Chain A
Amino acid sequence: MIKRALALLLVLALGGLFASLMSAYAPDPELNPTARYYAEHTAQDLGAANLVTAIIVTYRGLDTLGEVTVLFLTAAIVGLVLAQSRRRIPHQPVPGGELLATGTRLLTPLILLLGVYVFVNGHLTPGGGFQGGAILASGVLLVLLADPVKPFSHGLISVIESLAGTLYVLIGLAGLALAGGFLDNRILPLGEFGQLFSAGAIPVIYSLIGLKVGAEFASMLASLSETEDL
C-alpha cells in the first residue's frame, strides 16, 4: 500500500513536471527551418514524394540503419535467450484444422505480395519498409499458426536477413563512394518524380528494410514458436 501511495506521489510529481512542460508549450505557427528545408528540397534533391520516407531512408538513414539493427539484435537475442529453452523432445501440438491450412496456403502469397507492395511504394505513398516488413511477418505468422509441426526454415530467413542487412550497409558505403555521403540515395538516377522507379536508391533501400524487418520478425516469431510450454 505504501508502495502504491509512493508510486502515486511520484507519478503526480512527474505529472507536475509534464504540466509545466505543457504550459510552456506553444505550437509552432510555421514550419521550423529544418522542416521547411525538407518541404522545399526533398522533391528536387531526392525525388521522393513521401517526405517521411525521404527522411527515414536518406536524411536520417543512419537512424534507420540503427533501427533495423535494433530488430536484428532483438531477433538475435531472442534467439539466444530461447535457444537454451528449446524443447529436447519434440512434442505433438495439435495441428491446425484443414480449413486453416488451406486458407493459409491461399492467403500467404497474397499477404506477402501486399507487404512487398507497401514497401516498394514507400517513397510515394504512406507505408514503407517497416509496415511492409510487418505485413510479411504476419504471413509467416499465419504459416506458423497453421502448421506448428512443420520445421521452420531458419536458414532461409537467416540468409534474407543477412543479405538485406549487408546490402543495406553496402549501399550506404556506395553513397559514401559515389555520392555525397553515407546512405546518399543519389547513387541511382532520381528518375521522374512520382514514379515507382524514382527517388534514387530509396525504393531499393526501403525494400531491403522491408525484407530485413520481415525476416527479423519472422525469426523472432519462429524462435518463440519453438519454445516449450511451461
Chain B
Amino acid sequence: MTDFDWMKIPYALLTVFIVVNFGMLLGAFIQKIGARVGRRHGIPIWQYYADLIKNYGLRTSITHGAMFYLGPVFRLTGGVGLLLFVPTIYGSYMFSNFSFAGDLILALYFVFFGTLGMALGDGESGHPNAAIGITRGLSQVTAAELPFALAVFAVALQYQTLSVTDIVAAQQGGMHNWTLFTNPLAVAAAMLGFLGSMMRPPFDVVIAPQEIPIGPPTEYHSSYLALMQTNRAIFPIAKIVIYMNLFFGGAASWPVFFLKVFALYMVSVIVGVVFPRFRVEQSIRWFLIWALPIGVLAILWV
C-alpha cells in the first residue's frame, strides 16, 4: 500500500489506455475466432476501433432525461474505477494505480457502481424491454456474484488479508503457489461465477438479441453507446484482473498479464460455445445448485 502522489495520475491514465486497447483487440480477436470456428470471415481486428470512433463521432440531440444521460457515465466510471482500484501489475509502482484508496472489498463493491448507473440510465429510457433486460440482468448477476463473493472471502481467509497485493505476493514463487492449486474449490466457485458475469452464453439472456433488441441499452446510441463500448472493453478486463490476482498468481509484467487475461477470457468463450442459453431462473438455480455449494465448501475448507 502506498500513498497518493501526483505521478499516479499519468500512470493510471497509462494503465487505462493499455487496457482499453487490449480490451478492444481482445474482443475483436475473440469474435474473429468465433467466426472462424463457424467458417465465417468475421470482423476485422480493428472493427471495434471503427465502431468506437464512429460512435464517438456521432452527435445526438436526444436524451430521455438526467439519468439517461448519467447512465453511461456511471457505467464507465464503474469500469475505470474498478480497474484503477486494483493494482494491475504486481510489484510495479507504476501500475499499482489507486489501490491506496482501498482494498479488495472496495473493488468487490465498486463492481456494482457501474451496474447500478447503467440500470438507472436504462430505466429512464422508458423502454419496457430495457427494464425487462435489467431485471434479468440484476437477477442473474446477483446469483452469479455469490460464488464469486464466497471465493473471494475464502481467499481472504486463506491469506488472512484483504490486500490484493499481499494476496498476489503470497502466490509468487511458482505455479504451485497459485490459489488455483492451494485452494481449488474457491477457484472453481469463482470461475463458475465468472461465467455468469461475462454476459456470454449460456448466461447471455440479458442482452439476448433474439428476444429483445439488444437488452438494457436498447435506447442508447451515438456517444452514449460509445461510452458503453469503451466500458465493454475495460470492464471485463478489470474483472479478470481481479480473478487473475486472486487466483492465478497475478501478473508481474504486461506480457504475463496479456496472456493470463486472454486465457481467462477464453474460458468463458469456450463454455459459451458448448452450452445453450439458460433462462434467467434456470441460471439462478444453476448458480445456486452448482456454484454456490462449491463456494460454501471453499469457505469451510479454508
- A and B touch in their complex, CB below 8 angstroms: no
